[in-house]
Amino acid sequence: MNNEVERDEILKNMADLCSKYRGIIIHETIFIETGIDLLISGYFTNNDKIRSEDLHILIAHKSSGISFSSKFQILSYLLNTHFIDFKKKHPKFLKSLDDLMNIRNKVAHRRMLVPEKIIDFDNDTIHLYWSSTKKGRFVMETEILNSKVISDFIDSKNKIYHQLNELIDLAENR
């Protein structure tokens, strides 16, 4: 019975840590998506009242049906057609943003993997997994989350966030 209690406690610790890591990543990416909303609305009007009350609501509101993928396409179009100098200055911006949001999506939609030897839990590393097919074969893929991954993610988010703010300023002051 003592082993069962210990196993339950370890599973609870794993689930709590997984929730913490997921929460951090999802929370951090909210700032990026809001920034993209502001950029798009700022590009289409310099009128603060219209931008903040009308366009931002149309772009950011759930019922608008504008997915992050669609916002990314609009952002990509704007960079390629109207902010060419910014794109030259930050050539990896779109790729870095795409990578960041792919990590966010993996973390948000994958299940926690419980190791065969639960005692191996190190109080830092969580494995997420999902099933997919590759070349007609069923495979299980994993993603590792730990404090270093979270720290690297936040560093990457901060860099993108600063570049996005630079782009928002360009859009609003054009």
CB-count burial class (<10 Å; 0-12, 13-18, 19+) for 114: middle
Q: Give pLDDT tens digits along the chain (174 positions).
A: 468 888 888 889 999 999 999 999 999 999 998 889 888 877 776 656 555 555 655 665 555 667 888 889 989 999 999 999 999 999 999 999 999 999 998 888 888 877 777 667 888 998 888 777 777 777 777 888 999 999 999 999 999 999 999 998 888 777
State pTM to two decimals. Answer: 0.82
Count of CB atoms situated within 10 Å of the CB of 149: 18
Q: Which residues of 42-53 are buried (b: 16+ CB within 10 A; e: fewer)?
A: bbbeeeeeebee
